[in-house]
Structure 1
Amino acid sequence: MVKHFTPEDLASFVHTELQRSKIKEVKPSESILKELFNTLYYTSLQTEEGQFIKVTVTLFDHADFENKDLSKHDNPGFFAFDPKIEFSIKNLVKLSKAADPWSSSLSVYYDDSEKLFIYGMIDQTIHYQSYLNYEEEEKPLYPGIIQAMINGIGILNVMLDYHPIATLNQHSLVKLYPNVFEYGPVSEFISENAAYKKAFIEKKVGHSLTAEDAEIYNEIIFEYVIQAISRILLRIKNYSHGGAILITKNFNADLTTKYHLEYDRIQSAILHTLTSVTDNDLLLNEIKSYKKKAKDIPAVLHDEYKENELDIDNSYNEMIGAVRFVSSLSCVDGLVLMSPHLEVKGFGAVINEKELPEYIAVSKSSKPSAQRLKIDPKHFGTRHQSMFSYCLKHPDSLGFVVSQDGEIRAIKNVEGEVMMWENIKVYQFERSNKIPKLPPRK
């Protein structure tokens, strides 16, 4: 019998994780966490002005926090309500309209009788969200014990710093997020197919390279590619309508594409960033050599360095615009068709192949393991089934499907077996050193 998980199960797991953590703050009791997650869960089932609720709350001991850190003007601050507000479904629904998760978080804590209240709001959360979504490189400061986010109907994400503790996805409790972009068949496919030949890279950077240098450049390109894919999937998820991306080399077989479009701005943004960063390193080394010799830096060199910094910013902005452009193509029925170098070849594409695999191997690890679960492909909707059929017939392809509820899955044919990875890591998560790794099982 399939177990259905509840907010109480989420509270129990988070409580266990916090108990073994090294956080300095007072650790909340399990009953506090149950009240917190139950209220958030039932809030997620509500609507306000016909729109679903999205809000972030931070469990935060505001009494020990003062807005005194002026080392960075964009650090988050706490701003109190007067008086404090009861932590209830009704109040959360109303306040969610004023607390866009990209800009702010509701600051929640408990009194001596363990009753929760909304004590105020935390601003500047845009930097936290931007970092998670690969739109900001520098990791910003973020106060609080944990952050709990309503990300859909019955969907709660719980974070400690930049580390995901767990997700309650309606009736499932997700504790692992397979890093398919770093390990396993998905990573290997992208790494092999997104790489460029040495001569092409030499032409782009403007000087000759050793084979080892070319390999390093391709490793950098690989990182940019997986970041771009992650960002596209996250944008599609935020639309809340579902969507799919097919990465392949064959743009005609078993496909009917309604809107043919050649769009290469993601590829060009990656290459522009690569050359700008390379030039920046060379210029910086030249500047350091002048400083080491205690010589004045030539004005021309200084101007060239500043101009190159602008090139890096322009390339970064080009990527933001290109990612949003490609993501919006998913709003049309059908999938977005892309090459391994992330050139869009069309959208509104429909897969014609209908033969389904006998089963789908669902792997909880990014690398295939003997413990994978075998599921009937008809258990999934038509969007998933089409991707299963295509990957079965075309092993040299990679599919991503985003469900309407926001779940993101990767699909790949691995040695004749169609495999699927659920709840893949797409945010810029980082393991927190406040939660020690569990000892290996004996």
Structure 2
Amino acid sequence: MQNKLKLKKAKSTLPNLKVLEDLFECLFYSSMCKEESELITVTITFIDPENPDPAPPGHIVPERWSCISFDHHIEMTTKALAKLSKAADPGSSSLAVYYNDNGEIYIWGMIDQAMHYQNFLNYESDTGSEQPGLFQVSISEIGTLNVLFDYELLATLKQNVLVKRYLDVLTIGPISKILRKNAEFLKLTLREYIEQVYPEESYADWEDFLDGLWIQTFSRLLLKIQNYQHGGAILITDDNADLDVKYRIHYERLTLAMVSHARASIDNYVAERIIEEDLVRGKRSVSRALYLKEAGSFYDKKGTADEIKGAISFIASQTCVDGVVLFNSSMISNGFGGVLRAKKMPRKIYVSSTATATPKSLAPHDPKHYGTRHRSMIAYCWNHPSALGLVISQDGDIRAFSKIEDKLIMWENIKTQQYMTGKSQRKRKS
């Protein structure tokens, strides 16, 4: 932790080890407290009240954070955190925390506009301003602390386990390959659209965008399910064997909304580019038809983004009924409340410590050590090699299952939010 601070915030006065120990000890014990019969969820920002914004950007956007000071400093205790947590929803604000010359930690104010940060992390927004202070720490569950530097998740403490890395299985590795293959319907539809409407456009330039749209939408679905804190399961398969689905439906709106959103994005990009090129060539006006196309595609893009959001919420709520939510390979929902009937279990499953599931990263485990929901998913994916299964626990943990060659692989500690490394943050800002 101290080494990370030295590398990232070299110009700031850094807290000593005792201050950090006291801070995390207080936060850890606070995570086990209740306020008005509810568990505490709160985010603190470690920030100097004497110099809260040492290097503001040249252009300050309207939605940027600001600090609001209390009339007096409040000693940081579990009791004080519990009380203030009711007024500091992590989705909208954080508590400003620092320390005095004696190493005593205190709460000195609040920081607003946190929803924009959360929206970026949850793929609800394309942009997000830099974060205040040296670092942030959030309490999300009993004994669970998340430590963040700007948009980088440094580590998560889950009770007595320190998770230093979340696996980006949705972007690289076998699961990513499955999801990208499932995006073929979207890609083929958009390839035809580009060839017919914009023959001068290269489809290859849009393929990464389409993959990203598909995977981000799937990430948002998992995040929405996590937020319900009910637990649930998703099964992606085109095989109806060993399945008993209580509530059969055929819901293709999510997939069709992604197609519409991609079309609107292409329309808007092309119209904006033509307008920009005309202005560069010295043209002093824009044709009415082009203006209407640019404006119309902009609102279509926004509207279809909202449609995707609504479809995600519709599907995610179905996981609150016991059983799996069933998708086919084109992400069309075919029902919920599903029961997996496959019985034959592998002797071992293999837990991968990397997204790519290389042979050296696999550790054998006994599937009998897992609960009923996990065992039924293990059995189904073992008997149906083309299937991809995901189990979301009540505490938000996600485990993914797929049979790769002759092994049933399980991935855990899966990355769903849009966390960024220091390197990727520098690239984004440049």
In the alignment, is the contact (CA less than 8 A) between 1:45 and 1:154 conserved in 2?
yes
2:30 counterpart of 1:39: no
Aligned counterparts, 1:27-426, within 5 A = 27-65=14-52, 71-196=60-185, 200-205=189-194, 207=196, 213-250=202-239, 252-295=240-283, 296-369=285-358, 370-426=360-416
Match of 2:15, SS state, is: coil
Relative distance call for 1:93 and 1:389 in structure 2 (3 A) is same
Change (3 A) 1:277 1:160: same
Q: 1:93 to 1:142 in 2, by over 3 A?
A: same
TM-score scaled to structure 1, two decimals?
A: 0.90
Task: Give SS of 2:361's match.
Answer: coil
Deviation string, structure 1 residues 365-407 (Cα, Å, up to 9, x no partner): 1111213211111111111111111110111111111111211
Q: CA–CA distance in 2 between the matches of 1:94 and 1:350?
A: 43
CA contact (8 A) 2:324 2:338 kept: yes
User: In the aligned structure 2, how far is the partner of 1:198 from the partner of 1:42?
Assistant: 49
Closer, same or farther: CA 298–247 of 1 in aligned 2, 3 Å? same
Percentage identity across paired residues of the two chains: 39
| Partner SS, residue 342 of structure 1 | coil
Distance across 2 between alignment mates of 1:29 and 1:435: 26
Deviations 1:179-204 (A, max 9, x none): 11121100111112221387633444
Q: Distance in 1 between matches of 2:187 and 2:390?
A: 29
List alignment gaps of at least 5 residues for structure 2.
none
Change (3 A) 1:340 1:222: farther
Q: Tell me, yes or no, if the aligned pair for 1:204 and 1:271 is still in contact at 8 Å.
A: no
Indicate conservation of the 8 Å contact 2:120/2:128, yes or no.
yes
- After superposing the two structures, state which structure 1 stretch, 401-410 or 157-166, moved more: 401-410
Helix, strand or coil at the partner of 1:365: coil
Q: In structure 2, give the amino acid aligned to 1:348.
A: G
| Code of the aligned partner of 1:27 | L
Q: Cα offset for 1:27?
A: 2.1
Instruction: Tell me if the contact between 2:74 and 2:106 (Cα under 8 Å) persists in the aligned partners.
Output: yes
**What is the deviation of 1:66?**
5.7
Letter in 2 for 1:266: L
User: Does the aligned pair in 2 maintain the 1:176–1:364 contact within 8 Å?
Assistant: no
Letter in 1 for 2:274: E
Q: Deviation of residue 153 (structure 1)? A: 1.2
RMSD: 2.2
AA aligned opposite 1:118: I
Letter in 2 for 1:332: V
Please give the secondary structure, in 1, of the residue aligned with 2:422: coil
1:215–1:297 Cα change, 3 Å:
closer
The answer for the alignment partner of 1:4 in structure 2 is none
